[in-house]
Amino acid sequence: MMEIIDISLPLDRRLAVWPGDSEFDYELVWKRSAGAAVNVGAVKMSTHFGTHVDAPFHFDDAGQKIDELALTPFIGKAVVVDVRGQEQISRQTLSRRPFEGATRLLLRTDAWHDPRVFPEQIPVMDLDVPDWLGAQGIVLVGVDLPSIDALDSKDLPNHNALGRNHMAILESLNLAGVEEGGYDLVALPLKLVGGDGAPVRAVLIR
């Protein structure tokens, strides 16, 4: 029997927003209870709120925008690797986990303990990891964290290194309780024209 595991964070006002970024808001602007024929809602949110994809344009003015990205990296064989307890995610740690032919890597850190509270510090990959992953044929890296880089980073070395290796970036996943191993991933970003990023509804299929 096919199992579908939702690895997206729920979008509501309780989910922490990146400090200084646009607050999330959803409201019904048409209401049947007020006499409208239908209920219609409106959403205001950052393109990086909740589970989302970073387009290269997010960190590189010359980079592709979200509607220009190929969709291939966002659908296919993925492996969830358990790196809980690691302050730095190293090549040595990752090389001990078989990727089982998957070309999409999802890192379960469990370091964002409460998505209602923005974390003060998160684990990140060592600087040599993105190039090594590129050599392994990885096309997407996902994390259960609000960023692939340190929260106070200004030069975003992992973003840029992943971009240089043509790897997609998927952030703010909900991997709590997801077992290490192989899955099929579907995580398509919204086709936001000119977007620096876009929310996704990410699922694993087993």
Catalytic residue numbers read 58
Q: Read out DSSP for 2-42?
A: --EEE-PPP-STTS---TTSPPPEEEEEE-GGGT-SS-EEE
Residue partners of 159: CB distance under 8 A and separation at least 6: 54, 58, 59, 148, 149, 169
* Rounded alpha-carbon distances, angstroms, from residue 161 to 58, 108, 164, 167, 170: 13, 20, 5, 9, 14
Q: Which tokens hold the place of 202?
A: 């990410």
The conformation of residue 73, written as its DSSP 8-state character, comes to G
Reduced to 3 states, what is the DSSP secondary structure of residue 141?
Answer: strand
The candidate with the shortest Cα–Cα distance to 8, out of 183, 180, 172, is 172
Q: Which tokens hold the place of 165?
A: 């290796």
Q: What is the CA radius of gyration of the chain?
A: 17
Reduced to 3 states, what is the DSSP secondary structure of residue 72?
Answer: helix
